[in-house]
Structure 1
Amino acid sequence: MSIWWSLHLRREAASVPLARRLLLGTMETAGVDPDVSYDLSVALTEACANAVEHGGGPARRGGPASEAYRVTAYLDGETCRIEVADSGPGFQRGGAPAPPAADDAENGRGLRLIEELADHVHVGRTGRGGALVSFDKLLKWRPDAPLALA
Structure 2
Amino acid sequence: MSIWWSLHLRREAASVPLARRLLLGTMETAGVDPDVCYDLSVALSEACANAVEHGGAGAQGAGAEYRMTAYLDGEMCRIEVTDSGPGFAGGDATVRPARTDAEQGRGLYLIRELADHVRIGNHSGVGGAVVSFDKILKWRENAPLVAV
Q: TM-score range by the shorter chain?
A: over 0.9
**How many angstroms apart in 1 are the aligned matches of 2:142 and 2:107?**
33
**Offset of residue 101 of structure 1:** 2.4
**Offset of residue 66 of structure 1:** 1.4
Aligned position for 1:136: 134
Secondary structure class of the residue paired with 2:9: strand
- 1:78 corresponds to 2:51: no
Secondary structure class of the residue paired with 1:27: helix
- 1:112 corresponds to 2:109: yes
Return the letter of the residue paired with 2:134.
D
User: What fraction of aligned residue pairs are identical, expressed as a percent?
Assistant: 76
Return the letter of the residue paired with 1:2.
S
CA RMSD for the aligned pairs?
A: 1.7
Structure 1 residue ranges without an equivalent (≥5): none
**Offset of residue 99 of structure 1:** 4.5
Q: How does 1:1-150 map to 2 (within 5 A)?
A: 1-57=1-57, 64-97=61-94, 99-127=96-124, 128-150=126-148
Return the letter of the residue paired with 2:54.
H
Q: Which runs of structure 1 show a deviation greater than 6 angstroms over 4 or more consecutive aligned residues?
A: none
**How many angstroms apart in 1 are the aligned matches of 2:77 and 2:36?**
10
**Offset of residue 5 of structure 1:** 0.5
Assess if the C-alpha contact under 8 Å between 1:92 and 1:98 holds in 2. Answer: no
- Scaled by the length of structure 2, what TM-score is found? 0.93
Moved more, 50-59 or 88-97: 50-59
Q: Deviations over 1:52-82 (max 9, x none)?
A: 00001479xxx93410000000000000000
- Scaled by the length of structure 1, what TM-score is found? 0.92
Assess if the C-alpha contact under 8 Å between 2:70 and 2:79 holds in 1. Answer: yes
**How many angstroms apart in 1 are the aligned matches of 2:66 and 2:80?**
11
Assess if the C-alpha contact under 8 Å between 1:120 and 1:135 holds in 2. Answer: yes
